[in-house]
């Protein structure tokens, strides 16, 4: 079945450690996104990529990094510079380009990161 | 800038009750509007959308009408079920391509048998 796979589902990290969250899609979508979800704050955009080898900062990019070396993959690294990394992280994908998009993002099941 | 405001939850209803979740927005231009739903332990999925003023989006018994004059997109359902228990997010598109979304804070709905 086509979809988006995020791993790991749960992750614990000590302060000062970097951690990488995986996101893989087999929907042949050009665009991929990372959102952070905190209780009562909805989803906030961290980074997005409209095409391979290109990505842009979203609203809350500080302390995060990404890469987009393959169309299928968009890993997110939470660095030690992120002041409050404990959150639920959601990856999404969609077709890109004007006229192609319907506004529907396809989401993975999320990764919950807890900093100890 | 663009923003979406939703009523705070949780909203607790009995089965077969009428549901309204309020959503208002601030945006430049005429964005498309969306409702997404997140069931427990899952990612978000699109519930319905409307792309221009006075459009009504509908799906699975849920409806929402794009009201430009009141900048609102309230979600309604005539008779909720226990299986509707979830978190509901209102969102708008903030670019011409339609794929950059701004989300509201989410409203948790709990339906009791």
Give A102's pLDDT tier (boundaries 50, 70, 90): low
Q: Looking at residue A100, what is its pLDDT?
A: 55
Residue A101 has pLDDT above 70, yes or no: no
pLDDT at residue A40, as a whole number: 72
Size of interface A-B (CB pairs under 8 A): 63
The b/e string for A56-67 (b: 16+ C-beta within 10 A; e otherwise) is: eebeebeebbbe
pLDDT digits (tens, 9 = 90+) for A7-23: 999 999 988 899 999 99
CA distances from A113 to A8, A89, B107 (A): 9, 8, 22
Chain A partners of B93 at a C-beta cutoff of 8 Å?
Answer: 103
Answer for the pair B82, B112: CB distance below 8 angstroms, yes or no: yes
pLDDT for B36-89, tens place per residue? 999 988 889 999 999 889 999 999 999 999 999 999 999 999 999 999 999 999
Please give the Cα distance from A51 to B73 (Å, whole number).
Answer: 31
B98 or B9, which is more confident? B9
Q: Is the pLDDT of residue B7 over 80?
A: yes
Mean pLDDT, residues A87-107 taken together: 80
Task: Single out the residue of A116, A115, A105 nearest to residue A23, CA to CA.
Answer: A105
Say whether residue B105 is in contact with chain A using an 8 A CB cutoff.
yes
- Chain-chain contact of A103 with B51 (C-beta, under 8 angstroms): yes
Residues from chain B contacting residue A31 (CB–CB below 8 Å): 99
**Which residue in the block uniquely carries the two structure tokens 């042949």?**
A28
Taking the Cβ of residue B93 and every Cβ of chain A, the question of whether any pair is shorter than 8 Å is answered with yes
């Amino acid at each position: 079945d086509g979809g988006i796979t995020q791993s790991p589902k749960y992750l614990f990290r000590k302060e000062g450690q970097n951690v990488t969250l995986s996101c893989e899609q087999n929907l042949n979508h050009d665009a991929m996104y990372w959102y952070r979800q905190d209780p009562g704050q909805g989803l906030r955009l961290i980074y997005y990529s409209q095409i391979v080898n290109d990505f842009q900062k979203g609203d809350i990019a500080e302390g995060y990094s990404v890469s987009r070396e393959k169309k299928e993959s968009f890993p997110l690294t939470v660095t030690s510079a992120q002041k409050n990394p404990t959150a639920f992280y959601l990856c999404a994908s969609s077709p890109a380009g004007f006229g192609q998009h319907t506004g529907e993002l396809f989401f993975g099941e999320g990764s919950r990161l807890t900093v100890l | 800038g663009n923003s979406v405001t939703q009523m705070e939850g949780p909203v607790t209803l009995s089965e077969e009750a009428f549901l309204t979740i309020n959503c208002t927005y601030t945006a430049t231009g005429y964005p498309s509007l969306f409702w997404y739903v997140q069931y427990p332990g899952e990612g978000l999925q699109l519930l319905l959308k409307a792309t221009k003023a006075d459009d009504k989006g509908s799906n699975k018994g849920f409806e929402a009408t794009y009201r430009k004059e009141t900048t609102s997109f309230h979600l309604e359902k005539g008779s909720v079920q226990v299986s509707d228990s979830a978190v509901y997010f209102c969102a708008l598109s903030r670019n011409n391509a339609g794929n950059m979304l701004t989300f509201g804070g989410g409203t948790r709905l709990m339906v009791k048998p």
